[in-house]
Amino acid sequence: MIQQQQKTYTDGDITMHGQFIRDDQQTAPLPGVLIAPSFRGLSDFEIEQGKALAALGYAVLVVDYYGDGRLTTSPEEATAWKNELDNNRPVFCRRMLAALNALRAMDGVDAQRTGAMGYCFGGKGVLDLARSGESFSAAVSLHGVYDAPSDAKPEDLPRIQPAVLILHGYDDPLSPPESVERLSQELTARCSDWQILTFGHTGHSYTNPKAQNPGFTYQPVSNQRSWRVLTEFFADVF
């Protein structure tokens, strides 16, 4: 039976309230997966994705990178929160690492088999965690944002340890083709195992049925194909 529990972890004096999801009928340690939410914060959407992964045999921690379990339906408030972390990428990365370490320490998780996936701004957090040189198995960005946190040359930065999968909508206004090309160059220089799958006629937020704005629209076919590729990728890596 799929069980969901709130799990707290800290970054300095900030307390995060993540959601830990797993099938309690599974007795052996399971591969662990972080899910980093979009810029609005930890929502039911990411929890449902976590439950779907748990049903496939993963232990999942849905990340609270803002702290205090903050979630908003206001785009303005969400943008203000996002900007705080976007303007301090080391803090953002540190909070992603705090979540990964919390997941590794949880009962029922195989600490040697862990991955991370993120939606939108959460995809940026997953990429930054991978860029830090931290060792874990798999990193997945879904309609993420790709700008690197440093202007340093890729060859002067740590190697990216996990296998990387980018699931991208070609018409995403937040990640135009030139940003994908820059990411491709970065990954070529820093990562030995990476792939980008681009869906045509697909914009930002294509996985979310509630997304209904121009350029930010649910695309059910791309979503289905994306999920299939994601789960096959995790099965292969783990």
| Segment (H or E) for 185 | helix 177-190
Give per-residue pLDDT as tens, 31-86: 999 999 999 999 999 999 999 999 999 999 999 999 998 999 898 999 999 999 99
Domains of the chain: 2-237 (3.40.50.1820)
Q: Supply the mean pLDDT for the chain.
A: 96
pLDDT of residue 84: 95
- The average pLDDT across 177-195 equals 97
Res. 30 pLDDT band, cuts 50 70 90: very high
Distance CA 102, CA 111 (A): 10
pLDDT of residue 121: 97
Alpha helix (H) residue ranges in 56-151 = 75-86, 89-105, 121-131
Give per-residue pLDDT as tens, 111-134: 999 999 999 999 999 999 999 999
pLDDT at position 152 over 90:
no
